[in-house]
Amino acid sequence: MILDDLVSVTLTNMAQRQRLISPEDMYHLANQNIDTSLRGQQFMEKLHQPEITIIGEIKQASPSKGQIVTTFNYEDIARDYQTGGVDMISVLTETDYFKGSLDILRDVRAIVDVPILRKDFTVDAYMIDEARVNGAQVVLLIVAILSDEQLVKFLKRTHELGMVAIVETHDQEEIQRAIQAGAQIIGVNNRNLKDFSVNIHHTLALRQSIPEHIALIAESGIRSAEEIHDMSVAGVNGFLIGETLMRASDKAQQIKTFKAAYDD
């Protein structure tokens, strides 16, 4: 399965980085960088407001789509996203399948004010420390690749650093595990990572399984303002959008259209 491959390359690549900066040193560096900006917390509060919350993703390639764009000026993309009014920017840092990097994360952090999500396959608390050191306020924890103990431990470390976690799920059982671990934000991935099929109604089908005090983010396959409108009305709090924005010729305008979806 693709997730097994992603976990495997992530562990290998992390081990290489740990030879440059040891887990102990990264832990201390992260502690020196505890997030006092409140950007992550503000993002969480925004999710509970009636306005549409959009997370724009910077993603050059993916396992399901291969190369998504031919030119990849991520700094321009980040500026366009901010101009459009995104509430957070998601930066892929996985190198082998998504062609992302921590360099991209750092460069984007330097030029925008909005909170940043390190979008990666977090398999060790080291990667949370690393996310903080490189300027992210938010991390992704994917239930399907973590044990219950890891989920609790990684959430604790995230919160110690003043950060916020999106806990990604795909079915009822994973949602229960996320709630049990103490997730404050749950993402439901509309993409089935076993066969890459995308069902935009998947998040809606699982809405009732998530208590209202936990924010819900719909992930993957979102194409139109109508889809965002329908999901907002049904109580979905935020929308993570990658490919549609990466392919949009006027990204700022596309984001503005999406953010206006609730008023339509």
Ligand X SMILES: O=C(O)c1ccccc1NCC(=O)[C@H](O)[C@H](O)COP(=O)(O)O
Please identify which of the residues 94, 130, 168, 174 carries the catalytic annotation.
168
Q: Which one from 62, 134, 189, 237 is the annotated catalytic residue?
A: 189
CB of 77 to ligand X, least distance (A): 13
To ligand X, the closest distance from the beta carbon of 104 in angstroms equals 14
Shortest Å, Cβ 152 to ligand X: 23
Please answer whether residues 11 and 114 qualify as being in contact, where contact means their C-beta atoms are separated by less than 8 angstroms: no
Q: For residue 101, what are its two tokens?
A: 């990097």
Instruction: Return d(Cα 261, Cα 11) in angstroms, integer.
Output: 40
Binding site residues, ligand X, CB under 6 A:
2, 57, 59, 62-64, 189, 193, 219-222, 240-244
31 is catalytic: no
CA atoms within 13 A on the CB side of 40: 26
Q: Name the minimum Å distance from CB 64 to ligand X.
A: 3
Q: Is there a catalytic annotation at residue 57?
A: yes
**Nearest residue to 85 (alpha-carbon basis) of 104, 127, 63, 113:** 113
Cβ closest to ligand X, residue 97 vs residue 126: 97
Q: Hey, what amino acid is at 231?
A: M
User: Is 73 designated active site?
Assistant: no
Which residues face 61 on adjacent strands? 67
Is 259 labeled as catalytic in the residue annotation? no
**CA 180, CA 176: separation in Å to the nearest integer?**
6
Q: Is 119 a residue of the active site?
A: yes
Active-site residue among 62, 134, 190, 220? 220
Catalytic site positions: 57, 59, 119, 168, 189, 219-220
